[in-house]
């Protein structure tokens, strides 16, 4: 009986030791939990970064689309400026008003905005209410029955936001019939300029660029608006391609329309 008891005792001891050796210590469990936490933290950080990059890319695409639409709209409206007076002062009729941050003129409206006929139109740079940048704002009112203050009474259309800098410049003919240099102020309100330059600077973080616009007014107001303007060549001013709105680091982040 003593021998049997000793054998059973030895077997129980071996089983107890084997069960003890096959388990995990508290330290091992803590280390495993720490490693799992680190892996989950890194995975979450990677997922969050990917989500942020996706949203940033979507916003950049939206900005490029908005810019392309604004560019084409402004270019088209400038080309279609008409030599029609919308106001008068002591010096005569007013066909066009132009400053660095504002232009006012008469032109037909796109069918989806107007109901036909010429409209008094204005493009201005205004301070954004939602940030530190500028907005390119468009206003319009029908020419028939137009009075001072009519443009301020209509709801403005914001064409583009988040603009860092924006400038209008103008080109026309001097007394000798030669083209002038680009001017920051249009001094002949009874005539429309021959061409208008619109240059915008977008924030570096946007990764998009406004191709410099040099739009020729297609009707020469100096001869009653009856002939196409041949004084300013459209050479080098082609329809803008989508790639023109992407920032080109090779030339310092500034592109021009072909």
pLDDT at 224 over 70: no
Average pLDDT of the chain is: 77
**pLDDT value at position 243?**
45
Q: Is 242 a domain residue?
A: yes
Q: Is 15 a domain residue?
A: no
pLDDT at 7 over 60: no
Q: Is 126 a domain residue?
A: yes
Higher pLDDT, residue 16 or 212: 212
Q: Are 181 and 143 in contact (CB under 8 A)?
A: no
The domain of 213 spans: 56-251
pLDDT digits (tens, 9 = 90+) for 18-56: 554 566 788 888 888 888 888 888 887 777 777 676 666
- Span 210-236, average pLDDT: 59
CA 205 to chain centre: 12
Q: Is 5 a domain residue?
A: no
Number of domains in the chain: 1
**pLDDT value at position 238?**
40
Q: Is 194 a domain residue?
A: yes
**Cα 218 to Cα 215: distance, rounded to the nearest angstrom:** 9
**pLDDT value at position 189?**
94
Q: Is 63 a domain residue?
A: yes
**pLDDT value at position 39?**
87
């Amino acid at each position: 009986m003593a021998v049997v008891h000793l054998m059973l005792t030895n077997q129980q001891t071996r089983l107890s030791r084997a069960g003890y050796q096959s388990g995990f210590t508290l330290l091992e469990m803590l280390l495993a939990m720490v490693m799992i936490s680190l892996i989950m933290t890194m995975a979450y950080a990677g997922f969050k970064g990917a989500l942020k990059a996706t949203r940033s890319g979507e916003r950049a695409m939206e900005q490029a689309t908005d810019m392309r639409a604004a560019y084409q709209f402004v270019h088209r409206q400038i080309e279609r400026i008409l030599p029609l007076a919308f106001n008068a002062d002591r010096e005569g009729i007013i066909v066009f008003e132009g400053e660095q941050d504002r232009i006012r003129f008469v032109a037909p409206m796109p069918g989806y905005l107007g109901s036909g006929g010429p409209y008094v139109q204005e493009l201005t740079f205004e301070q954004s209410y939602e940030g530190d940048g500028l907005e390119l704002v468009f206003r319009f009112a029908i020419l028939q029955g137009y009075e001072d203050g009519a443009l301020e009474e209509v709801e403005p259309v914001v064409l583009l936001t988040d603009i860092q800098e924006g400038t209008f410049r103008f080109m026309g003919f001097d007394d000798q019939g030669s083209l002038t240099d680009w001017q920051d102020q249009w001094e002949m309100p009874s005539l429309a300029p021959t061409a208008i330059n619109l240059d915008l600077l977008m924030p570096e973080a946007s990764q998009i660029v406004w191709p410099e616009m040099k739009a020729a007014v297609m009707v020469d107001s100096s001869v009653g608006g009856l002939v196409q303007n041949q004084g300013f060549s459209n050479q080098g001013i082609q329809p803008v391609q989508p790639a023109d709105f992407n920032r080109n680091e090779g030339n310092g982040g500034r592109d021009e329309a072909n």
